[in-house]
Structure formats: C-alpha cells, structure tokens
Amino acid sequence: MATWWFLGVLALTGLYAWLMESLGKGWESLPEWKPSHSSPPETRVSVVVPVRNEEAHLERCLTSLLQQDYPPSFLEIIVVDDFSTDNTVAIASEFAGRGVRLLRMEELTPGGAGRSSKKKALQVGIQASKGALIATFDGDSWAPPAWLSTMVAYYEHHHPVLLAGPVGFTENGSLLEQFQALDMCGMTSISAAGLFKGWFHLGNGTNLLYERDAFLEIGGFEGADHLASGDDVFTMQKMAKAFPGRLAYVKSGEALVWTEPVSSWKAFWDQRLRWGSKASEYKEWQLTAVAALTLAVSMAICFSFLLIPWVGAWAFLFGFGLKSAVDYRLLNRAVHFFHRESLLLLFWKAQLLHVLYIVCTGSAALFVKNYHWKGRRLR
C-alpha cells in the first residue's frame, strides 16, 4: 500500500511539474506589449465599476480612472452601487460633476438587496453604457495613467473581442498580505500563459475589457447568473466558445492594475472559498483539470504525513520538494514582471501556507456552496 502511495505521489507531482514548467515557459514566451501611442485612440470605452461598501477605497479608484491619459470624449465611467450600507454612495456622488455617472441598484430594483450580486450590478452598468468597449473595474483597485490607453492600443492593433490584463496585490509587510501578493504573481502568470497557449481561459474582473456587442451576443451572464461569483471567468469561457482564437492577454507594466488584498485570515478564507466554489461550474475541462490536479498534489503531500514508516516521509519529501522547485521557478519568472523580487524571500513560508490553504479551501469548496461576502450570504 505504501509503495503504491509513493508511486501515486510521484506520478501526480511529475504531472504537476510538467504543467507548471510549461505554463512558466508560456509566460516567458508571451511577448510584452509596448504601444507606440503614436496615434490617438478611436474607441469609445465605458468603464463599469460595481461597488458595495467601498468607502475606504473608492476615492482612490475613481481618481485613478479620471487621471487616465485617455480622451475624455471617448471615455465614460459608470459606478453601480450594489446596496451599500456605508458612505460609498456619498463618495461616488462627489465625483458626479467630474464625469462619473452613478447608478443605484436601490433605486432600480427596490427591495432587491438580498437578491442582488456583482453580476447584476455589472449587467445594469453595461446596459446603460454607450461605449463600444466595456472595461470592468473593481472599487478597491486603481490603475496607472496609461492603463486604458495601453489596453485600447492593443485592441485597436489586434482586434480581439476580449482582453485580459495583469493584476497585482499591494502589501504592507505582514505575512498575510505578502503571501497574497506572491500568490497573485503566480496566478497572473498562470492565467496569462493558459490564455496565450490556448489551454484555458482565466482572468481577473478588475482588468477585463470586451466588446459590448460581443457580450450581448453571448447573452451576457446568462447561464452563470445563479452564481454570485465568476463574472470574469465565465464571461471569458463563453467568449472563447463563441469567438475562438479572439481572446488576448496584454502583458504590459503600463496596463498593470493594483488592488487591495484582504486584511484578515477570516476574510482570506471567505475569499478563497468564494473563488473555489465556482470551480465545479467551469465550462472548460482543462481548467477543471488544472484545479483538480493542484488539489490532488497538495492533498497527497499532506496525507503523506500519515503513512508509516519511511515511505510516507520519502513521499512527502519528494512531493513537497518537486512542487516547491517548479513553483519557485514559475514565481521567479513572474515577480520580475511585477518588480517584486523581494517577495521570494517569503517563499518557504508561503509554500507551506499554499499547500495547506489549497487542501482546506479546495476540500471545503466541494461541499460548502454558501459563503459570506461584504455582509451577504451568497452562493
């Protein structure tokens, strides 16, 4: 039994190592986009920002959007308040005279607080938009001045129906926030490589642009509107099915959007449980396989502790050692793009945390389909 276990760990981690190395090379092979900015943009863009209880971040978010080096006549910013219970509406209202349009779900769907979600808020904003290109953005994020012009320059040069861009977490030096920042570097490079190689479609909704007509053609969020999460990945998967080969990843430092990590371990658990709960709904078997393999490898490493005598120890050392080696190689490639090389000093602590959280949240997500998010209990 122990020998078969060792062979199983060897096979799983070997497959995982091949996958991560392939994705790491895919990230390296993905060329960086360096727009010339020689001609002014010609595409009207609607930036839709769904918000709920973002009083701590919204001013910085909207200020960064208003400071974009994009022609104001080709840009509209729509904030959709999703039944906030703090000062979010008051803050958004202060920007009304500066080119920001505020829509309130409370006025559009009275009494619908318990049934609302980020997807519903996004849908409202998109329906009210006038731009040919929709950019989704989160209220706790902010972008450099060249973000939008860089993304649109890629769109006007290559004409994809959907563009995904890089996202980074800030950090204040705490173990939790440094771990999230390093983890996001890895997730960003994996998402970009998967899209570049055509293996799967994964991205972050705070830096996602797509053609409005294409979004309406695929029926918007129909088919995934029963889930509170996944406005990004399910849209990408539907777009990929309807418009094969016409999705792109914009690897550019000028297009890098920054966002806030969660500030407590409880919030981290809820966030990762929310992310993991949608895995069973993926429409691409490749993405499901990647998630399943990552969970299986992490579980095999953890359960090797339970095997006695020496085979379990060897299985653990082999599995954890090989996973760590390929993860380090992938992260080492990714952190240079983000200029966050110092995060690798945390690698061994982060690696232990990564294995444990994958096992805990991955297992829980198979059975727990309800979670808390911003004062709501959602599915």
- Spatial distance between the Cα atoms of 341 and 263, rounded to a whole number of angstroms: 22
310 pLDDT band (50/70/90 cuts)?
A: low
| Positive or negative torsion for Cα 229, 232, 237, 241 | positive
Which structure tokens are listed for 220?
């918007």
- Cβ(209)–Cβ(156) under 8 Å? no
Closest CA to 147 of 210, 54, 68: 68
**What pLDDT does residue 365 have?**
79
Closest CA to 183 of 262, 255, 288: 262
**What pLDDT does residue 242 have?**
96
pLDDT digits (tens, 9 = 90+) for 238-277: 999 999 999 999 999 999 999 999 989 988 988 888 887 7
Of 350 and 228, more confident: 350
What DSSP line would sit under 78-101, residue for residue?
Answer: EEEE-S-SSSHHHHHHHTGGGTEE
- Spatial distance between the Cα atoms of 154 and 36, rounded to a whole number of angstroms: 10
Q: In the chain, what is the greatest distance between 2 CA atoms, to the nearest angstrom?
A: 71
Would the pLDDT of 308 be above 60?
no
Closest CA to 291 of 149, 194, 197: 194
- Spatial distance between the Cα atoms of 376 and 140, rounded to a whole number of angstroms: 18
Would the pLDDT of 375 be above 90?
no
> Looking at this protein, which amino acid is placed at residue 191?
S
What is the value of pTM for the model shown?
A: 0.91
Which structure tokens are listed for 215?
């979004």
- Spatial distance between the Cα atoms of 316 and 299, rounded to a whole number of angstroms: 11
Radius of gyration for the chain, computed over Cα atoms and rounded to the nearest angstrom? 21
Q: Supply φ then ψ for residue 264, to 5 degrees.
A: -140, 155
Task: Work out the end-to-end distance of the chain between its first and last CA atoms, rounded to an integer number of angstroms.
Answer: 39
With residues binned 3-state (H G I as helix, E B as strand, rest as coil), the percentages for the chain, rounded to 5, are 55, 10, 30
Which structure tokens are listed for 240?
């990929």
- Spatial distance between the Cα atoms of 195 and 286, rounded to a whole number of angstroms: 12
pLDDT digits (tens, 9 = 90+) for 125-167: 999 999 999 999 999 999 999 999 999 999 999 999 999 999 9
> Looking at this protein, which amino acid is placed at residue 323?
K
Which structure tokens are listed for 134?
């929709």
**What pLDDT does residue 371 have?**
61
CA distance to 20, 48, 135, 287, per residue, from 223 (Å): 31, 21, 21, 18
Which structure tokens are listed for 24?
């790491």
- Spatial distance between the Cα atoms of 209 and 136, rounded to a whole number of angstroms: 6
Of 165 and 106, more confident: 165
Which structure tokens are listed for 312?
């379990």
Beta strands in 255-375 (DSSP E): 257-259, 371-373
10 Å CB burial of residue 299 (0-12, 13-18, 19+) is middle
Of the chain, the percentage scoring pLDDT greater than 90 comes to 69
What is the mean predicted confidence (pLDDT) over 77-82?
A: 96
Beta bridge partners of 373: 376
Which structure tokens are listed for 34?
């360096």
What is the mean predicted confidence (pLDDT) over 355-367?
A: 86
